[in-house]
Structure 1
Amino acid sequence: MLSLTFEASACGTRLSLSEDFPCSRLHSNSFIVTVLLGNCEPLDSGWPPFRKNCLFCAVSIVWPDQHMSVFDGDWLKKHCFSAAARQAMQEELFLNERYYWDSKLRIPTADYQEVLHDDKAALAWLLALRRVGIVYLKGAPAEEGQVARLADRIGYLRLTFYGHTWQVQDKAMANNVAYTSGKLSLHTDYPALHFAPGVQFLHCINQAVNGGESEVVDGFHMAEKLQREDPEAFRTLTSVRVDFTDTGTDYCDFMLQSKKRIIDVDAEGRVVRINYNNATRDSVLDLPVHRVQPFYRALKAYVNIMNRLENVVTYKMEPGDIVTFDNWRLLHGRRSYISRPDRLRHLEGAYLDWDEVMSRLRILRKAVHGEL
């Protein structure tokens, strides 16, 4: 015999049940506005009569207009207002749980062709990208256009001032430090934008013989270490807004300016985004003089942690490799390399936003596993 324990205070208010329940009549175009939000009836006017049906583990409610709604037990449990139920729902929707790592990380790897053509492989790729923050794809053709194909698997590319895609090469008169053969210090891309791209693809078409190794660190994990080792520095970097700037001409001419905290946290204090690129951090520091030294001290503490050898993962891409990573979480860099005309290092890059990536992840999860 099945039983259903119905606790009104946990399962919701009268208003929330009538608003949330997927009933075609209740969700007519005008119902929410004219009945729920425009009705003069007090919102706390109490519960209408309800009946438990233990055979089908459901609750039926007859509303004042005599319309009846039947609430399945699983649906009620999923929409419960208890802390545990709400946490489970948020994790299902947003997959906020992360796997933190250091130099011992073995970067998750997937097959490029399988990701393009198999839903299970694509889902595994995006889940790892969300949890770990970086996934290596092997087996792509060593020619331009593959990051666009990969983006089509998700949705669409993010257009920036460097175009839909961009070629990372040693260029004369470079307008970006990435377009040289020099060392790239650890950074996130585009903090000069108010809404920086969430995900980055880099496809190796040709690699330098000497040098050019890639470096990545887990910025969220480094922020956690900073909070543990130097709480005052963490408070500074999560509160002080820093100016970033970027000016040049590529896809079009641009003159960007933004203010960002180096470490963004949510209402619960969880780290949600890293904004750091010393190449585009402005010389302007909009701080009262007594806060300048504490800011530099805090930033130095964070940079020192991220540059510790035990925290940095180093790898060298080969032609046909695509690395996909979370630009809000990872800081990435590159060792210098020797540029040769007969072996020009060439990567093609592209961006997407997390909204598109998470949308495709949810669609794939439903296709592979059914409704969760």
Structure 2
Amino acid sequence: MKARNLVMSEFDPEQNAESIKIDESGEILKIDWKDGAKSRFSSDWLRFRNPSDPEARKIRRQVYLFPEDTWDRAIIEKRLKKVDFHQAMVDDKALHDFLEAVCLDGISILTGAEPGKLGATHFGRTFEVATKSDASNMAYAHNNALPFHTDFPSLEQPPQLQMLHMLHSAREGGNSLFVDGFHVANLLRHERPDVFRILTTTTLEFIEEGFDVHEGDDGKPRKFEYDMCARHETIKLDQSGRIKRIQFGNAMRSWFYDVEPEKIQDIYRSLKIFTNYCYDPKNILKIRLEEGDTVLWANTRLLHTRDSYINKPEKVRTLTGCYFDWDFVKSRVRLLRDRLNLPQNQPSI
């Protein structure tokens, strides 16, 4: 592992230079310290790490793979990354491009895989999305359209990415719909600052309570009960005011508002306007997943849903899915950049 040898407990920040010089080539800064240590820095090394250069700071921020641009339908339909599944399994560049697109656009698709097998259900390592008579989730209760949402608004730390693999497609409908929540939030920031302020400063309560049945450690069906509750803003900002998370699902929105009663109506109005922006056709990406297709998207950025569908006579529309965290995906992207010596690769320590 690449790591500093410097131990902070032994570090003395009060250092003084004996001499500071530029060598005869003009490309090396030479510093001799009073304790006898010597430092030599190339001009390239210094320029890349120059904290007073806005461009250098911008380039370094790219190592975090945080999206700089958002999208509406016209933009994403032109650049939506689709990568052949078999190629991604054997070609590091194809895998890099697929995962990088998820980091920057919040969504990417693998095509052409053989339909997989059913896994466990809702709270196992994988879960199944299909219409069930004993549904534990509204996504499984019927074949009607669902509202736009992010998964698990009832968790303080929801899954950051979701993957769905199409096992059996519908005869008609069942299209997957996505909206870039970061884009919607930025539109509100500029067009409806009053709504943006409410959604970024007011915390709402979300609850998911119920049970599901899936395979236990012994391989036998087991009932798992849950009662999840969280409070958070619909739009979460970082310290610099940049949008970092979207988290909303009206089905899970609870009844408690920790504000004065006269403010509640403004909250409802703001949520309605936010939803109207999501349902604006110019913001919606609509795709049909064929059997064997897999979509990976950012659950804390994109809101998603599906439209209504009609099943094939012999098969129920069925997907299997799982969740990921950003750290693992972004680590893989950086590793592939290093391995392939791509231009986007950056030094660590």
Deviation per CA, 1:114-140, whole angstroms, max 9, x where unpaired?
112111111111121112111111011
Corresponding residue number in structure 2 for 1:121: 94
Which residue of 187, 203, 216 maps to 1:241? 203
Which residue of 48, 60, 65 maps to 2:35? 65
Q: Post-superposition shift, 1:339? A: 4.1
Change (3 A) 1:135 1:238: same
SS in 2 for 1:61: strand
Which residue of 146, 151, 159 maps to 1:189? 151
| Contact map agreement 2:70 2:180 (CA 8 A) in 1 | no
Q: Give the alignment's TM-score, normalised by structure 2.
A: 0.88
| Contact map agreement 2:166 2:289 (CA 8 A) in 1 | yes
Which residue of 177, 183, 191 maps to 1:215? 177
Q: Post-superposition shift, 1:161? A: 6.4
Q: Post-superposition shift, 1:46? A: 4.7
Identity %: 33
Corresponding residue number in structure 1 for 2:321: 349
Letter in 1 for 2:156: H
2:257 maps to 1:296: no
Deviation per CA, 1:273-305, whole angstroms, max 9, x where unpaired?
100111111122222212211111111111011
Which residue of 72, 76, 79 maps to 1:101? 72
2:165 maps to 1:165: no
**Gaps in structure 2 of 5+ consecutive residues:** 215-223
Q: Post-superposition shift, 1:160? A: 10
| Contact map agreement 2:162 2:297 (CA 8 A) in 1 | yes
SS in 1 for 2:262: helix
Which residue of 75, 80, 85 maps to 2:50? 80
Corresponding residue number in structure 2 for 1:334: 306
Q: Which has the higher strand share?
A: 2
Corresponding residue number in structure 2 for 1:133: 106
RMSD (CA atoms): 2.3
Q: Moved runs in structure 1, 4+ residues, more than 6 A?
A: none
Corresponding residue number in structure 2 for 1:203: 165
Decide which moves more: 218-227 or 45-54.
45-54
Corresponding residue number in structure 2 for 1:277: 249
Q: Give the alignment's TM-score, normalised by structure 1.
A: 0.82
- Distance (Å, rounded) in 2 between the aligned partners of 1:332 and 1:246: 18
Deviation per CA, 1:186-224, whole angstroms, max 9, x where unpaired?
111111111111111110010111221111111111111
- Distance (Å, rounded) in 1 between the aligned partners of 2:121 and 2:205: 19
SS in 2 for 1:221: helix
| Contact map agreement 2:234 2:247 (CA 8 A) in 1 | yes
- Distance (Å, rounded) in 2 between the aligned partners of 1:143 and 1:122: 19
In the alignment of these two chains, the number of paired residues is: 329
Letter in 2 for 1:244: F
Which residue of 263, 266, 270 maps to 2:238? 266
Change (3 A) 1:311 1:265: same
| Contact map agreement 1:108 1:136 (CA 8 A) in 2 | yes
- Distance (Å, rounded) in 1 between the aligned partners of 2:66 and 2:175: 31
SS in 2 for 1:238: helix
Deviation per CA, 1:240-295, whole angstroms, max 9, x where unpaired?
01111111223532211111100011122211110011111112222221221111
**Gaps in structure 1 of 5+ consecutive residues:** 1-21, 38-42, 149-158
SS in 2 for 1:140: coil
| Contact map agreement 2:149 2:303 (CA 8 A) in 1 | yes
Which residue of 322, 325, 331 maps to 2:294? 322
| Contact map agreement 1:161 1:253 (CA 8 A) in 2 | no
Corresponding residue number in structure 2 for 1:9: none
| Contact map agreement 1:208 1:344 (CA 8 A) in 2 | yes
